[in-house]
């Protein structure tokens, strides 16, 4: 487990960080962790700096000497002093519609006054199980799906003698935890336009592999694979190992892996209320699975402590409000089309996938543009942390956000 020495040049791009043990403030630490939760990279994210155990030691991707990124330094994750009222927040794949009004009403009625009580998540587990046609024992709930990406590696990996396989460009949390544990992290190449190469992942699996991680659709590339492809990947997982299918953006899949996870094999599906349900700040996620490997996962689960009362109370109404979820999906589909057309009009090429964000290639280093956008109160992520320095990752927002972004890009280009 190597840790690159810290220097301004080895600073990762797009994320605040600081040398091991020398954090300037708890706030900066939390900001960096939040950035990771919102989409930090496998490649290069937060390398050379100490942020959270989850992300330290990711593969370094220092800014090339003499590059614009090297001269400019990383863009802060959050603006100093907080976001302005009219900030264009399209960097963290958040739901621009907010939570379901029914979930908010339930929180107001029952979620806060019971805050002095420890939470009892059995009802919530039952609600989620019913939603998936499963039983309570098939569901574990927690503080965002990140809770599971954080603790599952500790349950399945050991230093030196195990490995984790994941795509090279993906959501970095699990890989970061695996590296912290001292397990080998095996990153597999992407296909064209950020597609997921399942054959490459299968080929990379070794007898000592205990976790295979796949985000479907993938963050940040947006590409998705079919249920059949996931099944072939699951078949390659060795005895004692698991395939984590992270379905944070499940609503954009033609086919999810829940039935596979409920069939008793080594598949665990992670879901979140942060995206389609608009509850990122309420922190609520869960996993679904069955069979011996899920029992093992249950054995290392935190239990009741991960879930807060407000999120628990919101669960039932949020799940029941299908209209709100459908409105979100329509907002994303319309927003993707609007963004794609606008970016094409500016001469930028975007990847073609369906997810609540898109990758667009500016054709030259994106960081100076991200800085310019940041100064205008428009928040997107640059792709350098994922090894894609000419790309922006833009989250779908509302039309007014897209139009503000497109106008700013036009202005920046012609300056
Ligand atoms: C693929 C993926 N998994 C998990 C998460 C984190 O979700 P949660 O807010 O439930 O921790 C994100 C957040 O952006 C994500 O993109």
**CATH class name, domain 101-320:** alpha beta
pLDDT at position 218? 98
pLDDT at position 15? 28
Q: How far from each other are the two terminal CA atoms of the chain, in whole angstroms?
A: 45
Contact between 169 and 42 (Cβ < 8 Å): yes
Contact between 408 and 369 (Cβ < 8 Å): no
Nearest to 363 by CA among 351, 352, 378, 349: 349
DSSP state of 89: E
358 lines ligand 1 (CB under 6 A): no
Contact between 179 and 200 (Cβ < 8 Å): no
At residue 68 the predicted structure's pLDDT band, cuts being 50, 70 and 90, is low
For the ranges 49-63, 71-85, 221-235, 380-394, which has the lowest average pLDDT? 49-63
311-353 pLDDT, tens per residue?
999 999 999 999 999 999 999 999 999 999 999 999 999 999 9
Residues 197, 190: Cα–Cα separation, whole Å = 6
Three-state SS for 245-256 is EECCCHHHCCCC
Q: How crowded is residue 285: how many other Cβ atoms within 10 Å of its Cβ? A: 25
Choose which residue among 39, 153, 220, 248 to substitute to test ligand 1 binding: the one with the highest number of ligand atoms within 8 A of its C-beta: 248
Residues 216, 195: Cα–Cα separation, whole Å = 11
Q: Give distance in angstroms: CA of 145 to centre of ligand 1.
A: 6
Minimum-distance ligand 1 atom for the alpha carbon of 280: 9
pLDDT of 368 higher than 80:
yes
194 lines ligand 1 (CB under 6 A): no
pLDDT at position 125? 96
Residues 366, 412: Cα–Cα separation, whole Å = 12
Residues 348, 383: Cα–Cα separation, whole Å = 14
The answer to whether the 8-96+325-414 and 101-320 domains have the same CATH topology is no
37 lines ligand 1 (CB under 6 A): yes
DSSP state of 48: T
What would the mean pLDDT of 168-181 be, rounded to a whole number?
Answer: 97
What would the mean pLDDT of 213-234 be, rounded to a whole number?
Answer: 98
Dihedral (Cα; 213, 282, 222, 17), 10-degree rounding: -80
For atom 3 of ligand 1, the residue with the nearest CA is 248
pTM value is: 0.87
User: What residue ranges in 38-96 does DSSP mark as E strands?
Assistant: 88-89
Structural domain spans, the chain: 8-96+325-414, 101-320
Minimum-distance ligand 1 atom for the alpha carbon of 273: 10
pLDDT of 37 higher than 80:
no
145 lines ligand 1 (CB under 6 A): yes
For the ranges 13-17, 254-258, 299-303, which has the lowest average pLDDT? 13-17
38 lines ligand 1 (CB under 6 A): yes
At residue 33 the predicted structure's pLDDT band, cuts being 50, 70 and 90, is very low
pLDDT of 208 higher than 70:
yes
Strands 184-188 and 163-167: parallel
39 lines ligand 1 (CB under 6 A): yes
Pick the CATH number of 8-96+325-414 from 1.20.1640.10, 3.40.50.11540, 3.90.1150.10, 3.40.50.300: 3.90.1150.10
Contact between 15 and 45 (Cβ < 8 Å): yes
Secondary element (H or E) of residue 288: strand 285-288
DSSP state of 265: S
pLDDT of 188 higher than 90:
yes
At residue 81 the predicted structure's pLDDT band, cuts being 50, 70 and 90, is confident
170 lines ligand 1 (CB under 6 A): no
Residues 274, 49: Cα–Cα separation, whole Å = 27
At residue 66 the predicted structure's pLDDT band, cuts being 50, 70 and 90, is low
Across the chain, mean pLDDT equals 86
What would the mean pLDDT of 196-222 be, rounded to a whole number?
Answer: 98
Buried/exposed 116-146: b ≥16 CB within 10 Å, e otherwise: eeebebeebbbbbbebbebebebbbbbbbbb
Q: Give distance in angstroms: CA of 373 to centre of ligand 1.
A: 24
261-313 pLDDT, tens per residue?
999 999 999 999 999 999 999 999 999 999 999 999 999 998 878 899 999 99
Can the peptide bond before residue 54 be classed as cis, meaning omega within 30 degrees of 0? no
Angle (CA) 361 92 317, round 5°: 135
97-136 pLDDT, tens per residue?
999 999 999 999 999 998 898 877 789 999 999 999 999 9
pLDDT of 45 higher than 60:
no
Q: Give distance in angstroms: CA of 282 to centre of ligand 1.
A: 13
pLDDT at position 78? 82
State the DSSP string of 334-392: HHHHHHHHHHHHTT-EE----SSEEEEE-SS-SHHHHHHHHHTTEE-EEGGGGT-TTEE
Minimum-distance ligand 1 atom for the alpha carbon of 274: 9
For the ranges 77-86, 185-194, 376-385, which has the lowest average pLDDT? 77-86
Quote the tokens at residue 271.
Answer: 């879901």
Residues 236, 203: Cα–Cα separation, whole Å = 9
280 lines ligand 1 (CB under 6 A): yes
At residue 5 the predicted structure's pLDDT band, cuts being 50, 70 and 90, is very low
- Residue 199 makes CB contacts below 8 A (sequence gap 6+) with none
93 lines ligand 1 (CB under 6 A): yes
Nearest to 220 by CA among 263, 171, 289: 171
pLDDT of 20 higher than 50:
no
Residues 100, 98: Cα–Cα separation, whole Å = 7
pLDDT at position 245? 98
Choose which residue among 145, 172, 257 to substitute to test ligand 1 binding: the one with the highest number of ligand atoms within 8 A of its C-beta: 145
Choose which residue among 39, 251, 272 to substitute to test ligand 1 binding: the one with the highest number of ligand atoms within 8 A of its C-beta: 272
């Amino acid at each position: 487990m190597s840790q690159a020495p810290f220097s301004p040049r080895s600073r990762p791009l797009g994320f605040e960080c600081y040398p091991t043990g020398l954090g300037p403030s708890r706030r900066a630490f939390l900001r960096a962790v939040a950035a990771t939760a919102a989409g930090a990279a496998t490649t290069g994210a937060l390398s050379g700096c100490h942020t959270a155990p989850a992300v330290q030691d990711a593969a370094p991707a220092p800014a090339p000497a003499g590059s614009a990124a090297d001269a400019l330094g990383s863009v802060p994750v959050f603006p100093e002093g907080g976001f302005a009222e009219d900030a264009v927040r399209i960097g963290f794949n958040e739901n621009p519609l907010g939570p379901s009004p029914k979930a908010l009403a339930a929180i107001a009625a029952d979620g806060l006054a019971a805050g002095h009580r420890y939470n009892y998540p059995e009802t919530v587990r039952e609600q989620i199980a019913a939603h998936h046609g499963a039983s309570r024992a098939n569901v574990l709930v927690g503080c965002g799906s990140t809770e599971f990406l954080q603790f599952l590696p500790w349950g399945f990996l050991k230093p030196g003698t195990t490995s984790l396989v994941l795509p090279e460009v993906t959501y970095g949390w699990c890989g970061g935890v695996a590296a912290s544990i001292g397990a080998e992290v095996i990153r597999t190449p992407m296909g064209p336009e950020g597609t997921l190469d399942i054959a490459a992942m299968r080929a990379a699996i070794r007898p000592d592999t205990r976790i295979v991680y796949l985000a479907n659709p993938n963050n940040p590339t947006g590409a998705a694979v079919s249920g059949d492809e996931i099944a072939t990947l699951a078949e390659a997982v060795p005895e004692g190992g698991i395939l984590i299918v992270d379905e944070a953006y499940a609503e954009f899949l033609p086919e999810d892996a829940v039935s596979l996870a409920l069939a008793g094999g080594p598949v665990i599906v992670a879901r979140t209320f942060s995206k389609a349900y608009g509850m990122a700040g309420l922190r609520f996620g869960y996993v679904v699975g069955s069979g011996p490997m899920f029992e093992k996962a249950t054995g290392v689960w935190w239990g009741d402590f991960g879930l807060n009362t407000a999120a628990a109370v919101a669960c039932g109404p949020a799940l029941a409000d299908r209209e709100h979820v459908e409105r979100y999906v329509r907002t994303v589909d319309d927003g993707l089309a609007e963004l794609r057309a606008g970016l094409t009009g500016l001469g930028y090429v975007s990847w073609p996938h369906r997810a609540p964000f898109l990758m667009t290639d500016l054709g030259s280093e994106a960081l100076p543009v991200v800085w310019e956008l940041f100064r205008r109160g428009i928040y997107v992520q640059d792709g350098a942390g994922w090894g894609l320095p000419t790309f922006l990752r833009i989250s779908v927002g509302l039309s007014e956000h897209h139009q503000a972004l497109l106008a700013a890009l036009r202005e920046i280009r012609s300056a």
